[in-house]
A and B are shown apart, each in its own frame.
Chain A
Amino acid sequence: MAVQKLPVAKAINLSLRTAMENDSKVLVMGEDVGKLGGVFRVTDGLQKDFGEDRVIDTPLAESGIVGTAIGLALRGYRPVVEIQFDGFVFPAYDQIVTQLAKMHARALGKIKLPVVIRIPYGGGIGAVEHHSESPEALFAHVAGLKCVSPSNAADAYWMMQQAIESDDPVIFFEPKRRYWDKAEVDPSAIPAPLHSAKIARQGSGLTLAAYGPMVKVCLEAAAAAEEEGNSLEVVDLRSMSPIDFDTLQRSVVKTRRLVLVHEAPVFLGTGAEIAARITERCFYHLEAPVLRVGGFHAPYPPARLEDEYLPNLDRVLDAVDRALAY
């Protein structure tokens, strides 16, 4: 396949299509994923080409979707489940946490649960309540699950391929506000490992680390900081469980300062865990405490306030200034 310039949503679509072509056991299931192609059109055209037996419109019941996906996986299938929006995953939370995550261990490794759960997540699209949340820490906290989030189309394509190939359950967080951002996708490239972080921009004075939707904000912040004479490195973590601490540690040892950015509330979020571990690993290298920029300990606000709630260029640069001031 040739190199194509694709938006994130279409890159995931192409990835699903490729996976389904390569492995007849790969299924797509969820609400409205068939004829409609999903509310974000990520599964557009798949049912037409692979049939209703492999691209399954399900009843509107998230626990049922994940619970039956577990049963299908036990039968040898590799279901890719779509949860329509972040805020709707909670009816399935029990199945994901008490069943999906533990079953491999409970069987002492004798069965595998290759289930991918796609969740369009995060804010910034002016949506109503329950459509803009970032629940990744609630899943990363659970042993047995893996959690990833691509920030761009090329990663979205490859990380979906790798998530489907994984014999572990993977929660695949899709940054919905980036669905329409285009980038070149080379289906013949050799991808980086699924759970590796990437240096998205080289710098020397401070490291900004993020994943999914906030990588773009960090890159913009780094560009703006450069104009002010500050060289920032941007690490795209890509995976929230496991986290590639080695790559991040190398960056922080070099820059001596770290600011973490995510949309999810800061309190007990992924940034808190990263701050603790990097402090442990880099205690004598740090020139400043690890700072975090993220959501507040408040419900996700109505859309007219989300620009204030979400980390943006100014809030990231404010934290950068504070870290540099030490």
Chain B
Amino acid sequence: MTVESTAARSAARRSGTGGERATRAATSGKAAENGKGEAPESASAPEKPRKTAAKAAKATGSAAKSPAKAPAKSARKPASKSTAKAAPKAPAKGGSAAKTSPKADPKTRTRAGGAKAKTSAKTSPKTPAKARANGSGQDEHELVQLLTPEGERVSHPEYDVDLSAEEIQGLYRDMVLTRRFDAEATALQRQGELGLWASLLGQEAAQIGSGRALHPDDYVFPTYREHGVAWCRDVDPTMLLGMFRGVNNGGWDPNSNNFHLYTIVIGSQVLHATGYAMGVAKDGADSAVIAYFGDGASSQGDVAEAFTFSAVYNAPVVFFCQNNQWAISEPTERQSRVPIYQRAQGFGFPGVRVDGNDVLACLAVTKAAVERARAGEGPMLIEAFTYRMGAHTTSDDPTRYRTDEERAAWEAKDPIQRLRSYLENENLADAAFFARIEEESEAMGRHVREAIRTMPDPDTMAIFENVYADGHALVDEERAQFAEYQASFATEPDSGAAAVEVN
């Protein structure tokens, strides 16, 4: 990762003498990808095994066929957005702003921010400086919390859950198994079985708490990181691996578990959720829809438009934003000058911030929001304040943009440990329970490993399948031509296999 990305970065820097050119370099594909450490690892990802010697002989150029493409998002990182904004304010310094802002570590970020605040003191509100000063950019006092990081049960005037010991054990089991699955997937990527993996490490409580608040007839629109929610919807975990292995681009039937396909283009699914919810309302059904997205997505126009549509039509949709503090390398204060949950107010529906590492609070708040939607009271925004403990994806390198201290501080708020402390302190689970879960978790790891290693590659002609529901003349023509081309290898004289056939 380091050699290539350094070269790309210095190349980008060389070309970036002026603000505009730097911005272009930063946004024009490879340079930006490498600069963020996204692409190089994918280059070393496993190649597809060649099917026949004849095919391999002709397809010498197929080395580039690695299934591991950097995620679509990386090419359209909003690095240029901030510079575009900054440029008019300080035209002479446009270049330096472009250079410092996207890749700054927390220290230089504060400096850059400070310098910018000076040049634009007249127009910018005062909050950002303050927000940056406290590091997280957000005031944590507003959190709904039912379980402290130490595992102490606390109450909240508006939100509560009344759960049996078994139910709480169930939440613990969900989180442990989800984390185990996630760790296994990360390992499988390192072993070359997956091209990429987006880990949910640290976000288990947000996903299990919200996922367990849903009814079977509710509908989920996930991002690409909702492995815990998928678990709650009974989606076979190995199905989630298909797109990361490169055997499909989604693959499951969204309607069989009311769990839509993973969506990679940031924020797009929030509109789909809203439209689906408008349909639910038209049908007179009393189910709810939940849209997952992140702090980075909160900057997308699609998310703002979804807020508008849902409010105007009073659609039964819950917006569940996992603010995990980082959009790849950009901190939340690059996305918003107010806490994200407060945006709801401007659209005309309630917003609440919940401790995203507290599974009980996430469950309680999401339950309330879902019931509200089901009762016809319209949308609600939940901001689950959490932390992405791992990298953005297996191609990312968080040491470039955040500190070990920050991670350690969040580790002390771990969602699984705090529930375990609670279960132990209150004698809600015994040692045998924890041992059982541990065993189950290892079995899950084995199952996932086996499943991925036996997952078949798709048939080549799958390229042409399901492009259209009603067919398309051009696809038919190209399918036939390609099949003919492939068949031509079987009869080529220099092919040993073909010679046998001819004889």
Contacts and interface: CB of A to CB of B under 8 A. Distances in A.
Interface of B: 72, 248-255, 260-261, 263, 265, 268, 270-280, 282-283, 301-302, 305-306, 308-309, 312, 465-470, 472-475
Contact of A58 (B249, B260, B261, B309): B309
A98 B261 CA distance: 13
Contacts of A143: 467, 475
Contacts of A108: 248, 250-251, 253, 465-466
B470 A167 contact: yes
A289 B125 CA distance: 64
Contacts, number: 148
Contact of A144 (B248, B260, B468): B468
A107 B239 CA distance: 12
Contact of B276 (A74, A103, A146): A74
Interface in A239-281: 241-245
A74 B275 contact: yes
A59 B276 contact: no
A84 to B, nearest CB: 16
Closest 3 CB pairs of A and B: A71-B275, A67-B271, A75-B279
Given A68-B274, A68-B278, A103-B261, A112 B473 contact: no
A144 B282 contact: no
Nearest to A102: B249
Interface in A55-93: 58-59, 61, 63-64, 66-77, 91
Nearest to B305: A64
Residue among A75, A144, A167 facing the most chain B CB atoms (10 A cut-off): A75
Contact of A94 (B268, B274, B473): B268
Interface in A105-120: 105-113
A230 interface: no
Given A59-B308, A110-B254, A71 B469 contact: no
Contact of B301 (A59, A63, A75, A144): A63
A107 B279 contact: no
7 contacts: A63-B271, A67-B306, A71-B278, A72-B276, A72-B279, A75-B283, A146-B472
A110 B255 contact: yes
Given A59-B308, A144-B468, A71 B274 contact: yes
A53 interface: yes
A66 B255 CA distance: 21
A289 B252 CA distance: 48
Given A67-B305, A103-B261, 8 more contacts: A64-B302, A74-B260, A74-B275, A94-B265, A104-B468, A107-B252, A107-B261, A111-B253
B226 to A, nearest CB: 16
A102 B269 CA distance: 13
Contact of A64 (B250, B280, B283, B309): B309
A318 to B, nearest CB: 31
A94 B252 CA distance: 23
A72 B302 contact: no
Given A53-B282, A143-B475, A91 B275 contact: no
Contacts of A91: 301
Residue among A61, A66, A113 facing the most chain B CB atoms (10 A cut-off): A61
A186 interface: no
Nearest to A66: B271
B479 to A, nearest CB: 12
B268 A64 contact: no
Contacts of B305: 59, 61, 63-64, 67
A99 B277 CA distance: 18
A91 B274 CA distance: 17
B70 to A, nearest CB: 16
B458 to A, nearest CB: 10
Nearest to B250: A106
A167 B270 CA distance: 23
A61 B311 CA distance: 14
